Chain A
Amino acid sequence: MLLNIKGIMPGMVSKANKSPLPPFNKRGMRGDFKPGRFRWRKAKERLIASFFFFNGMVSIIILAGIFSLLFSEGLPAFKEIHFSDFLQSTWNPTSYVKATYGLGAIMVSTLMVTFGALLIAVPVGLACAAYLAEIASPRVREVLKPIIEILAGIPSVVLGFLGIVVVNPLIARAFGMPNGLNALNGCILLAIMSLPTIISLSEDAIAAVPKTHKDASLALGASRWQTLVRVTIPSALSGIIASIMLGMGRAIGETMTVLMATGNAQAMPHSFLDAVRTMTATIAIELGEVPFGSAHYHALFVIGFVLFVMTFLVNLVSDIILQKYQEVEQ
């Protein structure tokens, strides 16, 4: 584009000037070359670069914004509620007798459904990832990968709906209970939700194990199975752990499925067959009805803040693991 096409417009090519290039100007240069143009071009480039820089910074700004906003909206809660009140077990801000703001039960509920979900999702997810990365033929892989993508795309509200209409009666029948809206139901749904994350990231990790590792193992007489279980999967372990952490982060923060399918009882749960109410569900249930600016309103932001910190830490740890693992790879 620099050749300045404007300079070779048909009108300018006269008989005297047979060259297809534009004539020389006073400065001894062809075309309408002016130093000022280059200065303008440089300024424009700098302007464009800083425009993109600003857009790049947006994600930091948003993350910091979420953090500071949850913090500043949660802080006023401590004016009316003592810090130790949050350490109690029961969350019941609308009680007629005495409003309680204990985070104990809802945190236990969140951890319960999360770890229950991982108990189901990790073995299934790892099996699927190992199959995809090492055993499946390329054609099977071509079919399976989009399937996992679509599973990741199923809206959580639809899974919650199926939790009510499908999983709920199954659990009720299996355990002889009036209904199956409890922690177990939430575990099953959250397992389905975190499966795609665990599968696709674990598969990446397993596929990234250098071929030389496997060849060495095979050359020593190990079978394909022994190589997979004792060499390939252990080599990919950090990536696999990172994927599990990310799946865990998703499960902790998932709202709609647990809101719909876990029964939402505020009491401290004692088993997986108890109805539970997670931190996310508590916010979803109460934010709509709470008077703006009340202690209860701010207390919900405290839950949000704790939730944010929990997922942030989980993501950070998985990130650090992944970073280490990539360094080792290089």
Chain B
Amino acid sequence: MKKDTVETLGFNLFRLGSVLVVLILGFILFDIFYKGIGAISWEFLTAEPRMGMTEGGIFPAIVGTVYVTVITVLFAVPLGMFAAIYLNEYAPHGPLTRVIRLSIRNLSGVPSIVYGLFGVAIFVRTLHLGASVLSAGLTLGLLTLPWTITASEEALKTVPKSYRDGALALGATKWQAIRTNVLPYAVPGMLTGTILGLARAAGETAPILFTGAAFFLPFLPDSPFSQFMALPYHLYVLVTQHHDVGKVMPLAYGTALVLIALVVGLNLVAVIIRYHFRKKRG
């Protein structure tokens, strides 16, 4: 009898922990949605900030975030996929491979602000790319790389060995086997993981603080070498750097809502791709 009470109590305590986590997320999403939805209008999404950012919209920030993410994709996705192909298909078991894996895990633990420092020193100063979309995109690309590699490798691992063996037995070379019998099955999984990584990159602020994000820029970046506004940085500026916090609060909530919608939307796309992929494989 006593044993049962303890068990029920304990299990419920653990359940409480989970409920708390759900409540936290629920609260975050609800609060941002409830207070931010009022700010969302066609003008808010398509106009530039006016009157010292107390009016108007966030169009340049949305476009800036999209531009930076595109550069991040162009940099991190191919590199991450190739590295994953090496690790899963070519790498021998040995000390070098272990060091590669170790450095990937450590890269994913490097603080984002350190990536920012690195980006400033390498892209902005040494390579003279200046504070620009390109510098920021590359910095975010470095940040996402370990996630892209890990996700792509996970996807490659799910392809059964017999697929490769089948191709090899017919006389295909290793690369032919990978190209025709492995990649087509791994690409959806790779996409899922990559999109999750990009969603995180799109929400990152610290790495772009000094590599190209602009405080206020009422026009769109016209080349990879111009500065840009970004959603997360815009939110930061509105909340902490603006002299009239009361006036910009609705705009800040609106910006947070757009940012969350973007991130959660990308997450959902990833989940849907994964779901379809699983179903197709059955």
Chain A positions near chain B (C-beta within 8 angstroms)? 1-2, 41, 44-45, 48-49, 51-53, 55-60, 62-66, 69-70, 73, 123-128, 130-132, 135-136, 144, 146-151, 153-162, 164-166, 192, 195, 199, 223-226, 228-229, 246, 249-250, 252-256, 259-260, 280, 283-284, 287-288, 292, 300-301, 304, 307-308, 311-312, 314-316, 319
Given the known inter-chain contacts A56-B87, A123-B17, please indicate yes or no for A153 contacting B117, CB distance below 8 A: no
**A148 to B118, Cβ gap below 8 A?**
no
CB neighbours (8 Å) of A144 from chain B are 18, 21-22
B47 within 8 A of A: no
Which of A164, A225, A301, A311 is B117 in contact with, Cβ under 8 Å?
A: A301
Q: Which residue of A lies closest to B16 (CB)?
A: A127
Which of B113, B200, B203, B240 is A158 in contact with, Cβ under 8 Å?
A: B203
B217 within 8 A of A: no
**A131 to B117, Cβ gap below 8 A?**
no
Given the known inter-chain contacts A153-B263, A223-B3, please indicate yes or no for A2 contacting B113, CB distance below 8 A: no
CB neighbours (8 Å) of A55 from chain B are 79, 82-83, 85-86
Which of B6, B102, B174, B235 is A225 in contact with, Cβ under 8 Å?
A: B6
**B117 to A70, Cβ gap below 8 A?**
yes
CB neighbours (8 Å) of A312 from chain B are 106, 109-110
Report how many residues on chain B are interfacial, defined by Cβ distance under 8 Å. Answer: 88
Q: Which residue of B lies closest to A320 (CB)?
A: B102
CB neighbours (8 Å) of A246 from chain B are 109
Given the known inter-chain contacts A126-B17, A151-B24, A162-B31, please indicate yes or no for A52 contacting B82, CB distance below 8 A: yes
CB neighbours (8 Å) of B200 from chain A are 153, 155
Stretch at the interface among B49-57, B165-173, B220-228: B165-173
B residues 1-18 in Cβ contact with A at 8 Å: 3-4, 6-7, 10-11, 13-18
**B100 to A73, Cβ gap below 8 A?**
no
Which of B110, B142, B232 is A157 in contact with, Cβ under 8 Å?
A: B232
Which of A52, A157, A192, A223 is B86 in contact with, Cβ under 8 Å?
A: A52
CA distance A256 to B208 in the complex (A): 12
Which of B15, B103, B173, B271 is A59 in contact with, Cβ under 8 Å?
A: B103
**Please, could you name 12 A-B residue pairs with CB atoms under 8 Å apart, sorted by A?**
A55-B85, A59-B149, A60-B103, A153-B200, A153-B203, A223-B4, A225-B11, A280-B111, A284-B116, A292-B125, A307-B111, A316-B106
**A51 to B82, Cβ gap below 8 A?**
yes
**A128 to B18, Cβ gap below 8 A?**
yes
Given the known inter-chain contacts A58-B79, A151-B21, please indicate yes or no for A284 contacting B113, CB distance below 8 A: yes
- Distance in Å: Cβ of B145 to nearest Cβ of chain A: 7
B66 within 8 A of A: no
Given the known inter-chain contacts A69-B122, A287-B210, please indicate yes or no for A135 contacting B267, CB distance below 8 A: no
Beyond contacts A2-B171, A55-B83, A224-B7: 20 other A-B pairs, Cβ-Cβ < 8 A, are A2-B172, A44-B175, A58-B79, A58-B145, A60-B99, A124-B21, A135-B14, A153-B196, A154-B203, A155-B232, A164-B239, A164-B240, A223-B7, A225-B3, A226-B7, A249-B109, A255-B113, A287-B116, A307-B111, A315-B105
CA distance A155 to B118 in the complex (A): 21
CA distance A158 to B258 in the complex (A): 11
**B206 to A256, Cβ gap below 8 A?**
yes
Q: Which residue of A lies closest to B176 (CB)?
A: A1
Q: Which residue of A lies closest to B89 (CB)?
A: A52
Given the known inter-chain contacts A62-B142, A300-B117, please indicate yes or no for A255 contacting B206, CB distance below 8 A: yes
CA distance A225 to B9 in the complex (A): 9
- Distance in Å: Cβ of A247 to nearest Cβ of chain B: 11
B249 within 8 A of A: yes
CA distance A161 to B253 in the complex (A): 9
**B236 to A157, Cβ gap below 8 A?**
yes
Q: List the 8 closest pairs (A to B, CB-CB), nearest first.
A: A253-B111, A127-B17, A155-B203, A56-B86, A55-B82, A225-B7, A52-B86, A2-B171
CA distance A181 to B232 in the complex (A): 20
Which of A73, A292, A308, A319 is B110 in contact with, Cβ under 8 Å?
A: A308
- Distance in Å: Cβ of A48 to nearest Cβ of chain B: 5
**A53 to B146, Cβ gap below 8 A?**
no
CA distance A225 to B10 in the complex (A): 7
**A150 to B113, Cβ gap below 8 A?**
no
**B118 to A149, Cβ gap below 8 A?**
no
CB neighbours (8 Å) of A253 from chain B are 109-114
- Distance in Å: Cβ of B43 to nearest Cβ of chain A: 22
CB neighbours (8 Å) of B209 from chain A are 284, 287-288
B154 within 8 A of A: no
B40 within 8 A of A: no
- Distance in Å: Cβ of A20 to nearest Cβ of chain B: 18
CB neighbours (8 Å) of B252 from chain A are 161
Most buried by B among A44, A48, A70: A48
- Distance in Å: Cβ of A219 to nearest Cβ of chain B: 16
CA distance A246 to B109 in the complex (A): 8
- Distance in Å: Cβ of B237 to nearest Cβ of chain A: 10
B107 within 8 A of A: yes
CA distance A160 to B32 in the complex (A): 13
